[in-house]
Amino acid sequence: MTELTEKRPASPAEPHILLRLFLTFMKIGAFTFGGGWAMISIIQREVVDKHGWISKEEFLDLLAVAQSLPGILAVNISVSVGDRLRGLRGSVVAALGSILPSFLIILCIAIFLTPDIITHNPVISAIFKGIRPAVVALIVAPVITSAKAANIGWKTAWIPAVVALLIWSKWPVVSNPILFIVLGGLIGWWQLHNVRKGGASK
């Protein structure tokens, strides 16, 4: 009974939810390097594991929606989570929290750090070189997590592997990611249609 209670998602009506949303996504935005994919594992840890605002299944669904929409992946996810908890106000607050640290950091870099300083200053160059391996790990981690949540096993692992190789190949037509997004959506619709049709026939 205790275990079930601990895993229950937190109520969206909890006190100061908007402030907590803002501070959570501000922390995520301030300590994430490498773009949207690098933020996913941190967002999942904060939103799903720590605060329990949404379940892992909901997070995977929101991730799929955020990927399919235009714009920045991390901002799309923050908007989706904010909307899930507090509607429009939650979306605005979460998006501001996610964007504000990056905006301030880029502003400071633009004012105080020129490309020449970044390239030739040994201390700054060493810092950026040290960050690169961590960025790779941050990008790989959500890929593994998403694969597990999507129930991708050894029998189906060949599908994302083949798609990744085709996209990487740079061959005409088959290297276009949009092709596989459309195909994936059509296959999903076809499977759902067959399941409903089979259920109706029974």
Residue by residue, what is the 3-state secondary structure of 109-164?
Answer: HHHHCCHHHHHHCHHHHHHHHHHHHHHHHHHHHHHHHHHHHCCCCCCCCHHHHHHH
The Cβ-side half-sphere exposure at 51, using a 13 Å CA radius, reads 21
- Please give the pLDDT value at position 199: 63
User: Do 64 and 161 share a domain, yes or no?
Assistant: no
User: Do 57 and 74 share a domain, yes or no?
Assistant: yes
User: Do 56 and 135 share a domain, yes or no?
Assistant: yes
User: Do 105 and 197 share a domain, yes or no?
Assistant: no
- Please give the pLDDT value at position 142: 65
- Distances in whole angstroms, Cα of residue 38 to Cα of each of 1, 142, 143: 35, 8, 10
Read off the pLDDT of each residue in 44-48 and give the average, rounded to a whole number: 85
**Which residue did the predictor score with more confidence, 57 or 114?**
57
Give Cβ neighbours of residue 20 (< 8 Å, ≥ 6 apart): 14, 51
Residue recorded with tokens 């085709």: 166
**What pLDDT, in 10s, does the model give residues 130-140?**
777 777 776 67
Q: What's the domain count of the chain?
A: 2
Q: Give the C-alpha separation, 138 to 144, whole Å.
A: 11
User: Do 23 and 96 share a domain, yes or no?
Assistant: yes
User: Do 87 and 181 share a domain, yes or no?
Assistant: no
Would you say residue 74 has pLDDT above 50?
Answer: yes
Domain housing 171:
153-202
User: Do 164 and 193 share a domain, yes or no?
Assistant: yes
User: Do 76 and 147 share a domain, yes or no?
Assistant: yes
Give the type of residue at 150: A
Q: Hey, how many other C-beta atoms are within 10 angstroms of the C-beta on 177?
A: 11
pTM, 2 dp: 0.57
